[in-house]
Structure 1
Amino acid sequence: YELYTAYTSTSTITGWSLVLYSIIYTTLPTVVISILEKDLSHKTLLKYPQLYGAGQRSECYNAGLFWLLMLETLWQSAVIFYVPYFTYRNSTMDASRMGDLLILALVILVSIHFAMDIMCWTWITHAVLWGSVLATCICVIVIDSIRQLPGY
């Protein structure tokens, strides 16, 4: 985005959306999913401590996987920005509306990533995960309708 605004340090995403992204859209699902996700029972983990060995030996997560995830992140961020950019570049859409699209696409992408990693689905998991997408839509509409908000 900065390349297209001559490094003016403007943001296409409102300050309120950034704050809510950090607190509601992604933190709440992360905390709830982390609490509810149980690959194995605590009894099994205590009975077989060698299950922790794979993590200690970096068999599941290592430098190669880290760099692969960085490339994936770069690709996803490019898609999230350039699809709306090329779709709406000749329209009358302003930066704020573009920011709304970007924040919604980002929350949907994060939710899809969560959904791919969840092993233990409960109604609470569904409610929090998909509720964060719904909350994003509602908050974007509310934020855009209140012109007195700073950063509008």
Structure 2
Amino acid sequence: ILLYTSLFTVLPQCAAALFDQHVPAERALHEPQLYEYTLHARCYRIRSYWINILDAIWQSTAIFFIAYFAYAKDADTDALVFGFSIAFSMTITSMIHVVLQTKRIDLALVGSIAFSLLVFLGFTLIMDATCIVCLNGQSPYHVSYMAFRQGLFWLTNLLTIILAMLPRFFVKCIYNSTGNPLLRNDQKQHVSFSTQDTRF
């Protein structure tokens, strides 16, 4: 499942890494001291590492156990539908995670997410429509088609995605409002500009 979802979520992460800008280009040219923030590794410290580890544990736990308890008492659901539900939640959660981590949402990021989602769904639907005995064990034939027709699948994934992303969303909101040094610099600059304007 990890390889399966990684293939369809790597493009948005690359787009975010290549095209995301924490500050506008004009400001970066006029304030080269902003580069010190990344040159001295201030943007990613050991505390950030452990926050990401705990967040990953939370997301994995939420994705697995919500699906597990949702499908545990459903006699009509087999292991492949359960596995597909987890893979679907992991893929969507990963894409939302990229959106939460980016400073600026642009066409490259939105396009990469849309393309990855279409490739994921297209590959899944084509494979499930044609693969009858191509894998060892149970056949994945029409698994996704069966899952997409179930209200339980959509309800489980909606609840899973919301609960999995809530801690990251709250931490991001708190960080942006209190701890983001680039944002604090923006506010200071705005205050200084407004002060200068009132003096003239």
Q: TM-score, normalised by structure 1?
A: 0.73
Residue number among 32, 43, 57 corresponding to 1:60 in the alignment: 43
Q: Secondary structure of 1:26's match? A: helix
Alpha-carbon offset, residue 129 of structure 1: 1.1
> What is the CA–CA distance in structure 2 between the aligned matches of 1:123 and 1:43, rounded to whole Å?
20
Contact 2:99 2:105 in 1 (8 A): no
Are 2:132 and 1:147 aligned? Answer: yes
Are 2:100 and 1:116 aligned? Answer: yes
Aligned amino acid, residue 139 of structure 1: F
Contact 1:81 1:102 in 2 (8 A): yes
Give the equivalent residue in structure 1 for 2:78.
94
Q: Secondary structure of 2:135's match? A: coil
Unaligned ranges ≥5, structure 1 = 1-12
> What is the CA–CA distance in structure 2 between the aligned matches of 1:42 and 1:122, rounded to whole Å?
15
Give the equivalent residue in structure 2 for 1:137.
121
Contact 2:63 2:86 in 1 (8 A): yes
> What is the CA–CA distance in structure 2 between the aligned matches of 1:56 and 1:123, rounded to whole Å?
28
Give the equivalent residue in structure 2 for 1:26.
9
Q: Which has the higher contact order (CA 8 A, sep 6+)?
A: 1
Which aligned runs of 4 or more in structure 1 are off by greater than 6 angstroms? none
- Percent identical residues: 24
